[in-house]
């Protein structure tokens, strides 16, 4: 079983993911860092030299390789669920958890960021609001939704572990004929 963290840039996927992995005794994989190590350059360099579409193609292919992993917590890039079919590929890889951070906190954390090409230049808050509104309906299709506002990394990690176990149970229980698909489709929330 894998735990797949999705959510906006700077929503805590990597720090929470590392903590969850440590507590469960799982491996940890960050899709951006994985792409960077395979390509030998940073995501920002990829955007600058090859363009965003090239990066999205790499992400698209990687999303389909993740189901080969086991006992891994996977932190995904914020745009990964946006491409058609990617969310289904992530669900095939494990329980998908949306870390729902408050927009104000995201903006604050991104203010000094120089690493993320999607939010460089221009009015940061406008960019975040626009992209966040467009992506929220996709993120909301996760198996589990954890609101992170005002919570410590440790508390969020605890919520992720508890709700992932419940979602896994619901997924397994809904497999036999006669089970309610509505119940299984409803995300667990904290
Ligand atoms: C992106 C998010 C980044 C990275 C790239 C694009 C996005 O990952 O994949 O800069 O489109 O939201 P993080 O969510 O880890 O910052």
Run of H or E residues at 95: strand 95-100
| Mean pLDDT confidence for 2-30 | 98
Tens-place pLDDT, residues 111-160: 988 899 999 988 999 999 999 999 999 999 999 999 999 999 999 999 99
Ligand 1 pocket mutation pick from 118, 130, 136 by most atoms within 8 angstroms of CB: 118
Q: Residue 21 sits in a domain of what CATH number? A: 3.40.50.300
Spatial CA neighbour of 75 closest among 15, 121, 141: 15
DSSP structure class, residue 120 = S
Residue nearest to atom 2 of ligand 1 (CA): 78
Q: Which residues line ligand 1 (CB under 6 A)?
A: 9, 13, 32, 43, 77-79, 116-118
Query: What is the whole-number distance in angstroms between the Cα of residue 79 and the centre of ligand 1?
Result: 6
- What confidence score (pLDDT) does residue 53 get? 98
Domain that holds residue 9: 3-189
Spatial CA neighbour of 4 closest among 101, 108, 74, 106: 74
Write down the pTM of the prediction: 0.93
Counting the structural domains of the chain, the total is: 1
**Which residue blocks in 99-152 are alpha helix, DSSP H?**
103-110, 124-139
Query: What is the whole-number distance in angstroms between the Cα of residue 106 and the centre of ligand 1?
Result: 13
Residues 6+ apart with CB under 8 A from 114: 120
Query: What is the whole-number distance in angstroms between the Cα of residue 23 and the centre of ligand 1?
Result: 25
Tracing tokens 């991104």 back to the chain, one arrives at 110
Tens-place pLDDT, residues 32-71: 999 999 999 999 999 999 999 999 999 999 999 999 999 9
Please, are residues 160 and 97 in contact by the beta-carbon 8 Å criterion? yes
Question: 186: pLDDT confidence band, cut at 50, 70 and 90?
Answer: confident
Question: 176: pLDDT confidence band, cut at 50, 70 and 90?
Answer: low
Query: What is the whole-number distance in angstroms between the Cα of residue 133 and the centre of ligand 1?
Result: 15
């Amino acid at each position: 079983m894998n735990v797949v963290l999705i959510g906006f840039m700077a929503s805590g996927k990597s720090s929470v993911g590392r903590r969850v992995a440590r507590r469960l005794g799982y491996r940890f994989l960050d899709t951006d860092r994985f792409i960077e190590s395979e390509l030998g350059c940073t995501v920002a360099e990829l955007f600058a030299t090859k363009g965003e579409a090239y990066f999205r193609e790499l992400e698209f292919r990687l999303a389909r390789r993740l189901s080969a992993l086991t006992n891994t917590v996977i932190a995904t890039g914020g745009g990964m669920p946006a491409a058609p079919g990617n969310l289904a590929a992530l669900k095939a890889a494990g329980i998908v958890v949306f870390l729902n951070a408050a927009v104000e906190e995201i903006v604050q954390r991104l203010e000094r960021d120089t690493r993320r090409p999607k939010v460089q230049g221009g009015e940061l808050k406008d960019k975040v609001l626009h992209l966040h509104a467009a992506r929220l309906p996709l993120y909301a299709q996760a198996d589990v939704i954890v609101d992170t506002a005002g919570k410590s990394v440790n508390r969020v990690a605890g919520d992720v572990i508890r709700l992932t176990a419940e979602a896994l149970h619901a997924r397994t229980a809904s497999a036999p004929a006669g089970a309610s698909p509505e119940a299984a489709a409803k995300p667990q929330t904290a």
